[in-house]
Amino acid sequence: MDKKANIYLVGAGPGDPGLLTLKGKKILEKAEVIIYDRLVGDGILALGNPEAEYIYVGKMAGKHALSQDEINDLLVKKVATGKIVVRLKGGDPFLFGRGGEEALYIRERGYDYEVVPGVSSAIAVPAYAGIPVTHRDATSSLAIITGHEKPGKEISSIKWKELARGIGTLVFLMGVENLEFICQQLIENGKAADTPVALVRWGTLPSQEVLTGTLENISRKVKETAFKPPAVIIVGDVVNLRPQLNWVENKPLFGKKVVVTRARAQASRLVEAINELGGEAIEFPSIVIQKEENLSSLYNAFEHLDSYNWIIFTSVNAVDIFFAELRKQELDIRSLYGSNICAIGPATCKSLEKRGLKVEFIPEEYRAEGILQELEDRVKKGEWVLLPRARGARAVLPDTLRQWGVHVNEVILYEAVPAGRVSKARINDILEGRVDYLTFTSSSTVRNFVKMIGRDNVLRVNNKVKVAGIGPVTAETARSLGFAVDIMAEEYTIDGLLKAIIDDARN
């Protein structure tokens, strides 16, 4: 009887996590063992099952974590345990990925497997550099060739003469170290010395670099610029289309590294927006949203919801916890009938509207002083206000309302506490100036970030990284802890923060 097992050979694509296939993502989410290569980035790995066993088997010139024979044995050993195993490979597993060898080895030992193709860097990387591998006015033929074949090999598997004379676009993978040999072979076999060439390093990622030249001079340019692998090599007239078709490098945050200190649960929108704008969002959550253990004051407020004239929600976190607990008490939005709803900020408003609530009032300014100025003509003396919010929030709002003769029930729902795990590598990147922007979206993100890096290191950050704050309160907290705030949003929202960073990047 055949040994059946769950093993998948999955192509991770060229680098951008957005180019991983839906099927590949689905399989990664259920994987129990993930065996991955050097060119599989953190963004892709983060999509996998966090409880899985991750095993690195990457290879680079002169340094292999495991030999191919050892990788083959490891695959079968893990499959034999009955767990769901993913062999995760950069690009496509069957295009110079030795996926065919691994599949044969697995099959010969009686196990079944499934292949999940990946977007190949041979096509995607040129596309991200503004180079179509085929074009009606340039060429309709394409060859994809390994660039890893060593010079001096007695019998070459590459038909240089046919490539040089019969194919329009040539794409070499893993060939930077052999570039001079490749160019020499093409010229000697009939390719014109002035044929355009492009090298694309870290293609599809915000760190993408492109070097162009000709077969005659590209090797010299690589040496002069210290251009390093890994890179895809494109040879052919299609390279000349790059000035007109280049697109990703024209994005407003292309090449910029932006640190996001929001809690991971709230960071997705900011992270996605930075990536869509061409930047690299570096997640460094300095806080974790921790719900209060004792919510008896909230439950007491639920029993008297009909007595509140106003409920003021100051954050999406407050909305989420408030309504989750409301349902636990077997209540729903009908319990809020008769109360006016105030939302601080468009994100909070949107979260309330998704729950079917009408928001009567959204202040134009999203800090206590501005909110109070607009509330003064709305909230009357003797009225009752329910204020569900975070521990440690500024006292200006409830204190002023009470001074007006308003009854305020301030209910603490959660606290922003310091994140537990700290990435030393990412701290070093920030301290050494290997990032461009450090963003703060609340005072708690500032305070806890300082606890994580140490107060003595704030000056080092000031000297090398631009600090961006979402609003004046956050900026003032940052300044009080020693940061020089370079950028502050005019509108105190995520969109406002992004706009301020884009404006700075363009200057």
452: annotated active-site residue: no
- Return d(Cα 167, Cα 311) in angstroms, integer: 70
3-state SS, 199-219, equals EEECCCCCCCEEEEEECCCHH
- Under DSSP, is residue 243 helix (H, G, I), strand (E, B) or coil? helix
59: annotated active-site residue: yes
Which residues, listed in sequence order, are joined to residue 439 by a DSSP beta bridge? 260, 468
Which residues, listed in sequence order, are joined to residue 258 by a DSSP beta bridge? 281, 437
- Return d(Cα 461, Cα 489) in angstroms, integer: 20
Q: What are the structure tokens assigned to 69, written together?
A: 């024979």
Q: Are residues 2 and 109 in contact, defined by beta-carbon separation less than 8 angstroms?
A: no
- Return d(Cα 26, Cα 116) in angstroms, integer: 11
Indicate the residue type of 458.
V
Question: How many other C-beta atoms can be found within 10 angstroms of the C-beta atom of residue 201?
Answer: 19
Nearest CA among 410, 414, 351 for reference residue 385:
410
Instruction: Identify each DSSP E strand in 95-134 by its residue range.
Output: 114-116
Instruction: Identify each DSSP E strand in 165-314 by its residue range.
Output: 169-173, 196-201, 209-214, 231-235, 257-260, 280-283, 287-291, 310-313
For residue 157, what are the CA distances in angstroms to 78, 150, 153, 161, 499? 34, 11, 9, 12, 53
37: annotated active-site residue: yes
Among residues 92, 174, 436, 452, the one annotated as catalytic is 174
Among residues 59, 161, 251, 464, the one annotated as catalytic is 59
- Return d(Cα 305, Cα 409) in angstroms, integer: 11
- Return d(Cα 384, Cα 309) in angstroms, integer: 5
CA dihedral (146, 151, 153, 155) in degrees, to 10, reads 60
- Return d(Cα 191, Cα 339) in angstroms, integer: 78
The DSSP code for 41 is: -
Any idea which residues carry the catalytic annotation?
A: 37, 59, 174
